[in-house]
């Protein structure tokens, strides 16, 4: 079992919502900065896949993503998380923390704290097939940081 600190157990406020979209769903997430908005949109995706309150802290998994601009970085970041869920170890995080966010070189490193998905323990929500670029929006203003991502379900 991974070692966790006291701070690991502090869950951030939920700052996301689901918006209707023809045959898909649009995730809208926001934060105090763009880093938090990225963390929140990943949690929104996982919240659509299961009820996160049933996810225990049993392990940590990390991801790294790169892009050539902010949109491709967001896409690849979410795609890395989706891959961890869709293939072994079938990981579902209860919390995601971005540990490095390089906005100039479009690189992210992040850690998820959670568990292996278990259908007997985690209610199955809707399967996310893919991340899309369709209508992707990133707003990173001085007092407004939010993102919109449509996921293929």
The confidence score (pLDDT) of residue 49 equals 95
- Identify the residue with better confidence: 33 or 10: 33
Distance of CA 133 to the CA centre of its chain: 15
E strand intervals along the chain: 16-21, 24-30, 59-66, 91-102, 107-116, 130-131, 137-141, 144-152
Give the confidence band of 84 by pLDDT, cuts at 50, 70, 90.
very high
Closest to 106 (Cα-Cα) out of 65, 62, 63? 65
Quote the pLDDT of residue 3: 81
User: For the whole model, what pTM was predicted?
Assistant: 0.92
The pLDDT score that the predictor gives to residue 6 is 85
The chain-wide mean pLDDT, for the chain, equals 94
Burial degree of 93 (CB within 10 A; 0-12, 13-18, 19+): buried
Average pLDDT over residues 55-83: 97
Residue 1 has pLDDT above 60, yes or no: no
């Amino acid at each position: 079992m991974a070692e966790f600190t006291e701070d690991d157990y502090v869950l951030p406020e939920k700052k996301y919502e689901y918006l209707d979209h023809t045959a898909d769903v649009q995730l809208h997430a926001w934060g105090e900065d763009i880093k938090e908005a990225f963390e929140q949109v990943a949690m929104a995706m996982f919240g659509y896949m299961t009820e996160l309150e049933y996810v225990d802290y049993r392990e940590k998994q990390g991801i790294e993503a790169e892009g050539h601009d902010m949109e491709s970085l967001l896409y690849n970041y979410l795609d890395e998380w989706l891959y961890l869920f869709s293939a072994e170890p079938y990981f579902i995080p209860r919390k995601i923390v971005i540990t490095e966010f390089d906005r100039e070189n479009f690189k992210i490193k992040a850690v998820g704290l959670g568990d292996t998905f278990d259908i007997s323990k985690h209610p199955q929500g809707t399967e996310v097939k893919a991340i899309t670029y369709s209508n992707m929006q990133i707003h990173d203003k001085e007092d407004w940081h939010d993102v919109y991502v449509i996921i293929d379900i």
